[in-house]
Chain A
Amino acid sequence: MLRYQENNELHRDFHGTTNTTLDYIAENYGVDALKSLLRRTGREVYKSIREKLAKGDAGELIEHLNWFFHRENGKYQLTVDENEIRFEVFECPAHRHLKKLGMPISPYSCLQTSELNAGMCEGTCWTSSVEILGGGRCVQIFRKKVSK
């Protein structure tokens, strides 16, 4: 079950404020500070996902990816097996909306994903990686560390 239940209207212009904030933090405080801020957001805001991952339960993470990309009409494919979650994004909803607004996409935009995901996995038996393919496409992988 999702910790944050969201079922109402969407205000997609928030992607614009996120975009300008990423630039602002990176330009004024440095990219490392931005990464740290995003990592903390992943770790603390999504504490519920992280705590479940620590117990080996990826259920909320899977529901989170599926529900919030579905709500934003994202084009994606989610493949789940025992030790790996593969989330392939064919069109990022945030990038699509920024294009619609005519706003340049921040060069730090994809750090949202890599650092948030890493924050959710911090201290758990899961790792995350993101392959950026360009044009709003990426492959996000969550992999369970298998003890030998």
Chain B
Amino acid sequence: MIPSDHFVRFYNEVFKFLDEKNGLEKYYSHISSHQEFHCLKEFSEKKLRGVYDYYVKIRKEENCGMELRLEKDCIYLGMTACPSLAKAIDNDAGVCPKYCLHCPGWTFPLYRKAGLFQVKDMMGLENPRCRSWIFEDREKAQKKYDELIETCPPEMIKKNF
């Protein structure tokens, strides 16, 4: 059994394997479908409140350093200490340089399916931190995206719409 504590180190090996075969995107899509089992109903029905409740649970169970705010129009999710990347780095097998990309890889399609618009600042792929904004309103999400593109390295700014 791979202990749930060590799952991300296995995940990291999976990414290395799939990257060699140019198979990451297809796998992200598969994982996104799997995650629908855990969150799609909540996200679709409760929208931002559903996302907020999910991440309150994740913050605790995954021991995240995370600033989570449910605001009027959006959720702000500031990952200040991502335990997933931190474990992949603290790993005798070595970190997959694309490790962080799995996160938008599975969340973007899921939020899209739930009718939510996500903007993400990756803040580099080597540090266990990032920022996300999730909106119900596409125009507001676009406005946030435009603002970030002006002030941050554009290649780090991603959106799901």
Contact = CB atoms under 8 A, between A and B. Distances in A.
Interface of A: 3-4, 6, 8-18, 20-21, 24-25, 28-29, 33, 37, 40-41, 44-48, 68-69, 71-72, 92-94, 101, 103, 112-113, 116
Interface string B1-19: 1111111111101100100
Contacts, number: 104
Nearest to B83: A8
A44 B93 contact: yes
Interface string B21-63: 1010011001100100110000000000000000000101111
B63 A17 contact: no
SS of A interface (majority): helix
Give the most central of B3, B6, B21, B26: most A CB within 10 Å.
B3
Contacts of A18: 2, 7, 10
Interface bracket on B: 20 to 34
B12 to A, nearest CB: 8
Contacts of B9: 4, 41, 45
Contact of A93 (B1, B63, B87): B1
A41 B10 contact: yes
A45 B93 contact: yes
Nearest to B10: A41
Given A24-B27, A28-B23, A17 B11 contact: yes
Contact of B93 (A16, A41, A72, A116): A41
B90 interface: yes
B80 interface: no
Contact of A112 (B2, B17, B23, B38): B2
A68 B93 contact: no
A89 B159 CA distance: 45
Nearest to B4: A14
12 contacts: A4-B6, A4-B9, A10-B5, A16-B38, A18-B10, A20-B31, A68-B1, A69-B1, A69-B3, A71-B5, A94-B2, A113-B1
